Amino acid sequence: MRIISIAGARPNFMKIAPIVAALEQVPEVEHLLVHTGQHYDQEMSDVFFRDLSIPAPDIDLEVGSASHAVQTARIMVEFEKVCEKEQPDMVVVVGDVNSTMACTLVAAKLQIPVAHVEAGLRSFDRTMPEEINRLVTDSLADLLFTTSRDADENLKREGVAPQKIHFVGNVMIDTLLKHRERAASMDVARGLGLDGEDYALMTLHRPSNVDDPSVLTGILQAVQQISRSLPVIFPIHPRTSARIKEFELASLVEGGVRISEPMGYLEFLNLMSKARLVMTDSGGLQEETTFLGVPCLTIRKNTERPVTISEGTNVLVGTDPERLLEAAGQILDGNWKASKVPEYWDGRAAERIVEILTRGS
């Protein structure tokens, strides 16, 4: 059985790592890893391969950054050639980035079965490019692996046949569990000038938060205020750093706000595990903080990961600076909700996925 798995952008790497490792344990599987090149910088890509011991990609499509249409089209053109040459029996895609959707479209048209890991998540907000990617990918996939029961329900409501849906848990948590100890032995905060005191950790990169000067200014002003009582570590995504420069907001990320380049997996996991609170607009961080029991303030109006709210440590604060300040104050007062780890977030999701993928092979 020949399987091609796809990784393209930063949030894909921690999801694909345990799947690649599990596939390599199966002698009947011939596995090829394709990197689309959607993310290409050292800090956005290479460091994750190193930190997570992912084997070097067998094929790199080297598509790079571009508009959505151009990037998606480039991936499709290049991945079609790969499929024609390699003739895989199955393509495995993860998450919701442009690479996920582009490779799904190519495989589906060549009648190659597609397995989607992290299927069924819905924000019900089509202004998010990821929501479009999720809808297209899930409507074409043949096997849909989900991280939570609500995702199963979303898929059934959209008419996906129940026998295609498999609730397997969360591969990102497989990776977290595998690397938690190694990350814990580091002291990343000290390297950023913090000497044992509490801190908040923040990430921000969604176009809806960083591309509009008034929204970005409001968020950064609130963060500046929070940083007066709690230092805020802020590794900056390339998109956000470009906008801060363009809108001349550098003065809002000084003082108590400690900015850095984007971080590797282990460094970031170290910081997140020990943070007093996390502020983010990332999807993955909502899940990782829930697993770690760290309070999370999500700077978005909606989430495709509702289990992190109903069971986890996550709260949506939108983009209103007042709500962000109020919620941060509540955490600092020690007043946060109880939480638990969602079902099947137990480190064995990839094992379950590979068992289903290779049934009958």
Q: Which residues are catalytic?
A: 205
How many other CB atoms are there within 10 angstroms of residue 306's CB atom?
Answer: 20
Compute the least distance from the CB of residue 100 to ligand UD1, in Å.
8
Which helix H or strand E contains 278, and what residues bound it? strand 277-280
Compute the least distance from the CB of residue 339 to ligand UD1, in Å.
23
Compute the least distance from the CB of residue 146 to ligand UD1, in Å.
18
Tokens of 116: 């989607």
Compute the least distance from the CB of residue 78 to ligand UD1, in Å.
16
CB 229 within 8 A of CB 328: no
Residue 282 or residue 339: which is nearer to ligand UD1 going by CB?
A: 282
In degrees and rounded to multiples of 5, residue 69 shows phi and psi of -65, -45
Residue 65 or residue 139: which is nearer to ligand UD1 going by CB?
A: 65
Classify residue 57 by its DSSP letter.
Answer: P
Which helix H or strand E contains 144, and what residues bound it? strand 143-146
Give every CB contact of residue 198 below 8 A, 6+ residues apart in sequence. Answer: 230, 231, 276
- CA-to-CA distance for 170 and 342, rounded, in angstroms? 9
Compute the least distance from the CB of residue 97 to ligand UD1, in Å.
3
Compute the least distance from the CB of residue 281 to ligand UD1, in Å.
9
Residue 129 or residue 293: which is nearer to ligand UD1 going by CB?
A: 129
Residue 113 or residue 238: which is nearer to ligand UD1 going by CB?
A: 238
**Amino acid identity at 210:** V
Alpha-carbon distances of 18 from 78, 94, 294, rounded to whole Å: 25, 12, 23
Residue 29 or residue 117: which is nearer to ligand UD1 going by CB?
A: 117
Burial 142-152 (b: 16+ CB within 10 A, else e): ebbbbbbebbb
- CA-to-CA distance for 47 and 270, rounded, in angstroms? 15
Residue 231 or residue 284: which is nearer to ligand UD1 going by CB?
A: 284
Give every CB contact of residue 157 below 8 A, 6+ residues apart in sequence. Answer: none
- CA-to-CA distance for 55 and 33, rounded, in angstroms? 8
Phi-psi region of 303 (alpha: psi -120 to 50; beta: other; left: phi over 0): beta
| Strand-pair category, 114-117 with 30-35 | unpaired
CB 310 within 8 A of CB 324: no
Q: List residues near ligand UD1 by CB under 6 A.
A: 9-11, 38-41, 44-45, 65, 97-98, 129-130, 205, 237-239
Compute the least distance from the CB of residue 132 to ligand UD1, in Å.
9
Residue 224 or residue 286: which is nearer to ligand UD1 going by CB?
A: 286
